[in-house]
Structure 1
Amino acid sequence: MRPMGRQLRPPSGVSRRSVLRGALAVTALPALAACAPAAPAPDTAALTVTDLAGQTLTLDGPARRVVTIPLPAASMVVAVHGGPDVLVGMNAASLAAMRSSYLGAVHPQLLALPSDVAGSDFAPSIESILRLSPDVVIQWGNRSSGIIEPLRNAGLRVAQLTYGTQEDLEGAALLYGRLLGRQDRAERMVTGMRERLRAVRTQTPGLAAARPKVLYLRTAERSLTVGGGASYNHFVIDLAGGVNPAADIPAEQAEVDLERILAWDPDIILVGTFDAATPATLYANPALAGVRAVRERRVYKVPVGGYRWDPPSQESPLMWRWLAGLVHGTGAPGLRAEVVAEYEFLYGRGPTEAQLDTILQTVPNAGSAGYANFGR
C-alpha cells in the first residue's frame, strides 16, 4: 500500500503542460485504432522521452522489458501496451492486487513475474532489478532522490512518475505510450477520459444544493482512514456530484476517530479496496448506527477490476460513472456493458456476467440500497 505523500511539481522552468507534451515528443501520433491493436513490430530507432518529473531519458527504441515500482504502474503499463509481455517485474503490492483482480484472471502469466524489485518503502532492490535486464524502470518521482539515484548509479534508465491528480493520470498514460511505442493506445485512452469527464460533469449541475455528503474510507477494518481534500477521491466525489465532508483535511489521507464520522454524518460512505472491510463491517458496528449512510443502507464497497477503482488508474472513468450512479440515484444504467467494452480495449477480453458481479462487488453490496440491478 502506498503512503500518500504530498505531490511535488516538476523542476523550476518545466511546466505541467510541457511535461505532457514531452511525453509525446519526437514522433507524430499514429491514427487511433478502433479496437485493441496487435503488438507493434520491433522499432530500433532511438527515442528521447520527458518523464513526469521533467527529466529526459533516451532509450535505444521502444521499451520491451519494463520494471514498475509504483503500485498502479504495472496494470497501466499492460493496458497501454495492449498485452502483458513487456512487464518483467513489479512491486509486491502490485502483484498482491493483481492476484485478486480481473487482470490476473485474464493474463495469469503476470502472477508468475518477480515481485522483489523494491521494499515497502519503494527503495529499489538493485540486484533483483539488474537480473531482469530492463530497458526502463518506472519509479516514483515525487518522493526522495534516495529511491532514484541508486537506479541511475547502477546504469539503469529511470522514468519518474508523479501521481494523485487527473493531470498526472493522463500524463502517465501518455508517458507509457511514448516509452512503449504505443502512442495510439495512450492517446485513445486519454481522449476517452476527457470525453467521459465532460459527460459526467453535465450531470452535476442538476443536483444544485441537494449534493449528498460522500465520505471515502480508504481503510475501515482496523482504523478509519479518510480521503482528504488533497486526494484523488475528493476530485472524484466532486465530479460525481457529491460533497466530501473531509475536504477540510489538507492531506491525501488521514486517520480519524469515530466521533469525527458521527459529526460529519455522511449520506453515502464508500468503503475502499485497501483492506477487507465491507458495508457489513459498518452495518454491524453499533457505534455507527446513527450515521445517515448506515441507517439508510447507503454504504458501498468500491469495485476492483484490472486494478482498484479508488486510486487513479486507466479504469477511473468507470469509477466516475459508478459513483455518479450512486450519487444521482440512477443506478448507472449501461455501466456493465461499458465495463465489457472498456476491458476489451484495455485487456483484450471482456468479462463474463459472473466476473462483472465480482468486479462491481455485487455480493458485498447486496444489502445496500439500490444495488440489486446496479449498472444494468
Structure 2
Amino acid sequence: MKKLLITVLFFSIVLGGVYGAGKKDEPAKTAGTAAMSAAARTHTVVDFKGNSVEVPNKIERIVVLGPLPAPTVLTVFQQGKTDNIVGVSPDSVNGAKYSIFSKYAPDFQNISSAFYTGGKLNLEELIKLKPDVVFYMDASVAAPLRQAGIAAVALAHPSTGWDASPLVTLKSWMDTMAQTLQMESPAQQIIAYGEQVEKEIKARIEKHPLPSPNKILFISKYSDTTIASAGKKSFGQYWANLLGGINLGGKATQGAINMEQIYEWQPDQVFILTFSDKTPDNLYNNTAAPGHDWSGINAVKNRQVFKFPFGMHRWWPPTTDTPLAMWWFAKTARPDLFSDIDMNQKIKEYYKQFYNMTLTDADVEWILHPRAEAKRQYF
C-alpha cells in the first residue's frame, strides 16, 4: 500500500511538472503568434524614390492629396469604384463635377474635401478621417502623417525630380497603386496603348521635322494680375519635345511672366491649360485681362492659340486619357502630319474600350471644349 502511494505521488509530480512547463511556454507561443499575425496585416510598398512604406493589407479608407489628377486615376484603376476614397482636394472635386468624369463616376463628387480650408490642407482634419493610406506629392506632409500612424505613399511628379512624361508618370502612379492595393487593373493596359501612340507620333515627326523648332508657350495660370508659364520642371517639357519644339517657359527663371517677355519670345503657338478659364478667343479679342495686348504676338496673328481638352481629367498632366492627349496635341500642333487622325472617332473608340462608355457627339465636344467652371480654384 505504501509502495503504491509513493508510485502515485511520483507520477503526480512528473505530470504536474510537464503540465506546468506547458503553461510556462504558452505566453511565448501566444506572443509569437501575435507577432506573426501583426506582420501578416501589412505589406511593403516601395515608392518612386525607393522609400519603403508599410501599408495595411486591408485598405478601406484612402485619401489622395496629390498630384491633382491622381484621384481620378485611382478611380479608373478601380474600375469606377469610389466608396473607399474618403478624401480628395477641392480642385479634384470641382474638376470632376464639370467634366465627362461626372458621368463615369457620379459619386466622386460626394467625396469629402472638407479637410481643406481656402485651398489649404488642414492635417488635423485629415487625420480625423482615419485613412488607412494617404497618397501624396508634397513631402512635407509625410512625417506628420506617419507620426499619426497613417501610411503615407508618395506619387511621382516632375516638380519632385521625376520624368516630365505624362505617360511615364501615369505608369509610375498605377504601379504604386497596384503595390498598395495588391491588385492589378485592366486600366494598366492604357500604358501599352499609349506607348504605341507615342511611337507612331515620333516616327512621323522624325520623318518630317520643321525647318526650325516651334516656339511654344504653355499658359498654366492667367488672371488680371498674373500670367504663369509651364517651366522646366513641368509636363510642358515633354509636350514640346514630343514634336521637336521648344518650351518657352523652360527659359524663364520662374513661372510668372509678363507681356513684355511674351513679346520678346514671340511664340509660334500658345496652349492654354484648363487650370485657367481663359480661351483662345480671349487672346484673339484682347479680352484676357486689362492692358494685355496680344495683337502683336505671332501665335495670335496666325490663329495658333489652343486650349487643352478635359476628359477624365485635364489632358495636360498624367491622366488615363493621356494617349488621346498625345493624338490631340500632335494633330493640333502639326495638322500637316496628322490630318488623318479623326479625334471624334478616336475618343469614342477609346472611351468604349477603356471605360465602357458610349459617347455622343455632344460628349466629345464637351471633352474637346471644356467648361470654364472646371478651372483650378486654388494654386
TM normalised by structure 2 equals 0.75
What is aligned with 1:289? Answer: 295
Uncovered stretches (5+) of structure 2, i.e. residues with no partner: 1-39, 159-163, 287-291, 373-379
The question of 1:152 aligning with 2:146 is answered: yes
Kindly tell me the number of residue pairs found equivalent between the two proteins.
Answer: 315
Equivalent pair of 1:218/1:271 in contact (CA under 8 Å)? yes
Question: Where does residue 171 of structure 2 map in the other structure?
Answer: 170
Q: Which residue does the alignment assign to 2:70?
A: 73
**Structure 1 residues 62 and 316, CA gap change in structure 2 (3 angstroms):** farther
DSSP-derived class of the 2:341 partner? coil
Alignment partner of 1:354 is 2:362: yes
Shift, 1:358, TM fit: 1.1
Alignment match, 1:336: 344
Deviation at 1:144, TM superposition (A): 4.1
Q: 1:116: how far off?
A: 2.2
Q: 1:189 to 1:250 in 2, by over 3 A?
A: farther
2:180 is aligned to 179
Say if 2:99 and 2:366, in contact at 8 Å, map to a contact too: no
Post-superposition shift, 1:154?
A: 1.6
- Given that 2:43 and 2:55 are in contact with CA atoms closer than 8 Å, whether structure 1 keeps it comes out as yes
Q: Distance in 2 between matches of 1:66 and 1:99?
A: 20
Change (3 A) 1:247 1:176: same
Alpha-carbon spacing, 1:68–1:363, altered in 2? closer, same or farther (3 Å)? closer
1:168-196, CA deviations, whole angstroms, 9 ceiling, x for partnerless residues?
33211211122233324354232223222
TM-score, normalisation: structure 1: 0.76
Q: Which residue of 1 aligns with 2:214?
A: 212
Partner of 1:90: 88
Whole-Å separation in 2 of the counterparts to 1:148 and 1:136 = 11
How far 1:117 moved relative to its partner?
Answer: 3.5
Deviation at 1:331, TM superposition (A): 4.5
Query: What are the Cα deviations for residues 311-341 of structure 1, in whole angstroms up to 9, with x where unaligned?
Result: 2222222222111101211356232222223
Residue segments in structure 1 that go unaligned for 5+ positions in a row: 1-43, 365-376
Residue 214 of structure 1 contacts residue 244 of structure 1 at CA under 8 Å; is this kept in 2?
A: yes
Amino acid at match of 1:92: P
Give the structure with the higher percent helix: 2
Give the structure 2 partner of residue 102 of structure 1. 100
Q: Which shows bigger deviation, 322-331 or 187-196?
A: 187-196
Once the two structures are superposed, the pairs formed by residues 116-155 of structure 1 within 5 Å of their partners are 116-118=114-116, 123-131=121-129, 133-140=130-137, 143-145=138-140, 147-155=141-149
Q: CA deviation at 1:200?
A: 1.7
Aligned in 2, Cα 1:185/1:261: closer, same or farther, shift over 3 Å? same
**Distance of aligned partners of 1:331 and 1:359 in 2 relative to their CA distance in 1, 3 Å threshold:** farther
Percent identity between the two aligned chains: 23
- Work out the CA distance in 2 between the residues paired with 1:289 and 1:306: 34
1:1-376 equivalences in 2 (<5 Å): 46-61=42-57, 63-70=59-66, 71-85=68-82, 86-118=84-116, 123-131=121-129, 133-140=130-137, 143-145=138-140, 147-164=141-158, 165-166=164-165, 167-185=168-186, 187-205=188-206, 206-222=208-224, 223-249=226-252, 254-285=255-286, 287-329=293-335, 330-331=338-339, 333-361=341-369
Q: List per-residue Cα deviations over 1:66-90 (Å, max 9, x = no partner).
A: 2101122111101111113332221
Work out whether residues 77 and 185 of structure 2, in 8 Å CA contact, stay in contact via their aligned partners in 1.
no
| Offset at residue 129 of structure 1 (A) | 4.0
CA contact (8 A) 1:64 1:180 kept: no
- Assess, with a 3 A threshold, how the Cα gap between structure 1 residues 298 and 343 changes in structure 2: closer, same or farther: same
Letter in 1 for 2:87: G
